[in-house]
């Protein structure tokens, strides 16, 4: 049985312009120790998807489909039972290390908190465990800094503290929602390396959200590309990077800056702008912005086509695309 099984997940949100479907039928599964990356631009539903795994959606959100953790259904689970899972079975690392720690509590208290909550440790025991965790995530001289407040740490250190907090109870699944977006590049690398080594060491599954393709390429075994609330392409990272079957994935790749490439003007862009969730086309979400758009794209939702490499793509015009262009370099 896989650790996490998400089946046809649908999330409806109330927006100012009426109800919108933010996530439209996402399915994936994750084994213990497996790592999954989710890529896509802002507003494509990646954060909403992982928030639904934590049961942290706003109360007005409507969730359909199923999310199973070790066979236990999480959709519709009462808040009390969900509290037992959050921080205990599923840990989460947040995007903004500057705001993800409470400014009025010491870090020893914050890191020890989940342990006191889920393991029933005493204050002294939790403090001892917190010290071990902080040392493990590489806070220098952790013993003397247990009683320091968050503002006394740098951004990278705070992200490490956030990781220690997420890992306190040894969760089975770790969710990292753009954990390095707010950090500078050298610190990014250190934090990603730390997450990876911890995941390998503790045998956790990892879901890493990012819009940075470089981060995804180096950190995860499988990846999932999202656009407009749908999964447009999914598969082993290597296969997706090699084939880039969906036109949206190609667009993402073309738009990234390449180190050392000759500066021949502007970066490529995907033409048009992201449609609002309220007025997404009925068929393919990418219809209209895609160079291969045909009549059918507006009306028919493309089925998920499996490739032999275990790589799935949601596009009606795969053959035409394959015929017309080789994978761009």
Partner 1 sequence: MNTIVAPAVPSAAALSVPGFWRRARHHRSFVIGAVLALLLLLAALVSFVWTPWSPYEMDMANKMQAPSAAHWLGTDAFGRDVASLLLVGARASILVGVIAVGIGLVVGTALGLLAAARRGWVEEAIMRFADFSLAFPAILSAIMMTAVFGAGIVNAIVAIGIYNIPTFARITRASANAIWSREYIAAARACGKGSFSITMQHVLPNISAVLIVQITIRFAIAILAEAALSYLGLGTQPPQPSWGRMLSEAQTLMFQQPLLAVFPGMAIALAVLGLNLLGDGLRDLLDPRLARAR
Q: Are 52 and 41 in contact (CB under 8 A)?
A: no
Q: Least Å distance between CB 306 and partner 1?
A: 32
Judged by CB under 8 A, the residue of 11, 30, 67, 166 near partner 1 is 166
Tokens 């596009």 correspond to 315
Tell me the DSSP string of 230-285.
EEEEEEEHHHHHHH--SHHHHHHHHTS--TT----SSPP--SS-PPPGGG--SS-T
Nearer to partner 1, 85 or 224 (CB): 85
Nearer to partner 1, 228 or 302 (CB): 228
- Is residue 54 a contact residue for partner 1 (CB under 8 A)? yes
- Is residue 325 a contact residue for partner 1 (CB under 8 A)? no
Q: Are 112 and 131 in contact (CB under 8 A)?
A: no
Contact region with partner 1 (CB under 8 A), list: 89-97, 137-145, 190-198, 244-252:
89-97
- Is residue 165 a contact residue for partner 1 (CB under 8 A)? yes
Residues 6 or more apart whose CB falls under 8 angstroms from that of 328 comprise: 244, 250, 253, 254
Residues 6 or more apart whose CB falls under 8 angstroms from that of 32 comprise: 3, 172, 203, 204, 205
Beta strand pairing call for 18-30 and 4-15: antiparallel
Number of residues forming the site for partner 1 (CB under 8 A) = 37
Nearer to partner 1, 61 or 117 (CB): 117
Tokens 């489909």 correspond to 65
- Is residue 284 a contact residue for partner 1 (CB under 8 A)? no
Annotate each residue in 98-137 with x if it binds partner 1 (CB under 8 A) or - if it does not, as one string.
Answer: -xxxxxxx-------xx--xx-------------------
Nearer to partner 1, 95 or 237 (CB): 95
Q: What share of the chain is helix, strand, coil (3-state, %, to 5)?
A: 35, 25, 40
- Is residue 269 a contact residue for partner 1 (CB under 8 A)? no
Q: Are 6 and 27 in contact (CB under 8 A)?
A: yes
Nearer to partner 1, 137 or 290 (CB): 137
Residues that bind partner 1 (CB under 8 A): 42-43, 47, 54, 56, 59, 79-80, 83-88, 90-92, 94-96, 99-105, 113-114, 117-118, 149, 151, 162, 165-166, 168
């Amino acid at each position: 049985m896989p650790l996490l099984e998400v089946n046809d997940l649908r999330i409806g949100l109330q927006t100012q312009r009426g109800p919108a479907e933010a996530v439209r039928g996402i399915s994936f599964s994750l084994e213990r120790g497996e790592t999954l990356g989710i890529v896509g631009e802002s507003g494509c539903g990646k954060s909403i998807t992982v928030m639904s795994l934590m049961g942290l959606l706003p109360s007005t959100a409507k969730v359909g489909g199923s999310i199973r953790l070790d066979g236990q259904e999480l959709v519709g689970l009462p808040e009390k039972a969900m509290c037992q899972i959050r921080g205990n079975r599923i840990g989460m690392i947040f995007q903004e290390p500057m705001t993800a720690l409470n400014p009025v509590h010491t870090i020893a208290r914050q890191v020890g908190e989940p342990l006191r909550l889920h393991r029933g440790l005493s204050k002294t025991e939790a403090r001892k465990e917190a010290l071990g965790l902080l040392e493990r995530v590489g806070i220098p001289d952790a013993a003397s800094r247990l009683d320091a407040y968050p503002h006394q740490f740098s951004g990278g250190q705070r992200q490490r503290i956030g990781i220690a907090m997420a890992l306190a109870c040894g969760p089975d699944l770790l969710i990292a929602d753009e954990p390095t977006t707010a950090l500078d590049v050298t610190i990014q690398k250190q934090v990603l390396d730390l997450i990876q080594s911890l995941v390998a060491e503790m045998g956790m599954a990892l879901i890493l959200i990012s819009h940075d393709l470089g981060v995804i390429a180096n950190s995860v075994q499988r990846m999932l590309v999202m656009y407009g609330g749908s999964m447009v392409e999914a598969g082993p990272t290597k296969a997706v990077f090699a084939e880039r079957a969906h036109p949206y994935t190609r667009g993402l790749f073309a738009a990234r800056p390449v180190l050392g490439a000759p500066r021949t003007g502007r970066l490529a862009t995907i033409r048009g702008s992201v449609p609002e969730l309220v007025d997404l086309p009925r068929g393919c979400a990418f219809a209209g912005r895609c160079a291969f758009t045909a009549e059918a794209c507006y009306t028919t939702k493309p089925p998920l086509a499996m490739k032999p490499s275990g790589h799935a793509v949601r596009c009606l015009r795969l053959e035409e695309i394959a015929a017309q262009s080789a994978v761009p370099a």
